[in-house]
Amino acid sequence: MLKSSPADLPSQALPHPSLAAYIDSYNFVGWKQTPSCKTTETFSMFPLGYPLIELNFADKWIKYLHTATQQSSYDSNLITPSNVPIRIRSSGEIKTILVILKPLGLRALIRDDVAKNAIWDPCLVFGRSFSETLEQIADSRSGRSIVSQLDTFFRTLVNRSRSAIDRRVNFLKRCIIASKGSLSIHGAIQETGISQKRMEQLFSSYLGMPPKAYANIARFQHAIAIYTPGQSLTELATFAGYYDQSHFIRQFKRFTNKTPRDFFASEAIEIARISNLYNFSF
């Protein structure tokens, strides 16, 4: 448990330049609220397309898959690029560091295939060094020291892994995101010079899903990003690159368990409420 929040701690910090290929940012949630931020509200995290590491210094976050079966109540969490929605409920006080990884960053940190499981205990994945880093951060008295502790932990993982990001996987991932998921997967794979089967194996080892599933998430995220209140679903489906409205609705229900109409009429009236603490758009 953290003793106190350093006065100079920012809401967001960038990692050391040597980590830029793997980590997007460090985000500090609930650290500066006075009195402390407390809630038992349930949030929804929809498929993002990149992994997160949550370092928790207060009460646990209880996470469920869309089936409503309890999935985890670890003190901290490693969330892989799942293609199903996850429900998140705080059990009280919030004080969390969210490490937003680049889409291919996790593989470089763990030296192994990205697990198909949506949620993992980071202590099991990273070992004793993760617990030691939590303790060091809890004892830190400055924001600069906390960021330095995070950088040291992740630079050690990268140096230990010595796992370079496969340029062919990176090329395909960049094509998918640049096209907002609306591209010929087969055509893009042909440009890499390897077979479709081999690319699907490689891609899944980095992101836990094949290229087509990842493209579906990219297109879903794009639809959310461009939505404007009152916009017709037919127009939105066209602009987001779906074949037709029925295709759009099927994909949307898969990722949110709601129709687009119900989704935009309820928790996503304000786009920021898609997932208050987690959801960052492409």
State how far the Cα of 118 lies from the Cα of 163, in Å rounded to an integer: 22
Q: Which pLDDT score, from 0 to 100, does residue 165 have?
A: 85
Mean of pLDDT values over 258-272: 70
Amino acid code (one letter) for 153 = F
Quickly list DSSP for 194-259. Answer: S-HHHHHHHHHHHHSS-HHHHHHHHHHHHHHHH--TT--HHHHHHHTT-SSHHHHHHHHHHHHSS-
Of 46-50, 71-75, 247-251, least confident by mean pLDDT is: 71-75
Nearest to 108 by CA among 28, 163, 60, 29: 163
Residues 267-278: what's their mean pLDDT?
A: 42
Q: Look at residue 281 in the predicted model and tell me its pLDDT.
A: 37
Please say whether the beta carbons of 106 and 49 come within 8 A. Answer: no
The residue type at 14 = L
User: What is the mean pLDDT of the segment spanning 164-172?
Assistant: 91
pLDDT at 100: 92
What is the rounded average pLDDT for all residues in the chain?
Answer: 83
Q: Binning pLDDT at 50, 70 and 90, where does residue 275 land?
A: very low
pLDDT (tens digit per residue) in 6-40? 778 888 999 999 999 999 999 998 877 655 666 66
Whether 127 shows a pLDDT value over 70: the answer reads yes
Alpha-carbon 1 to chain mean position? 24
pLDDT in tens, 221-238: 889 888 888 889 999 999
- pTM across the whole model: 0.84
Residue type, 216: N
Domains and CATH numbers, the chain: 12-161 (2.60.120), 172-274 (1.10.10.60)
Q: What is the pLDDT at residue 73?
A: 62
Mean pLDDT of 188-209: 94
Contact present, 59 and 2 (Cβ < 8 Å): no
Using CA atoms, how far residue 240 sits from 52, 75, 218, 234, in Å, is 25, 38, 10, 10
Q: What is the pLDDT of residues 56-91, one digit of tens each?
A: 888 777 776 655 555 556 778 888 888 888 877 777
Mean pLDDT of 245-270: 82
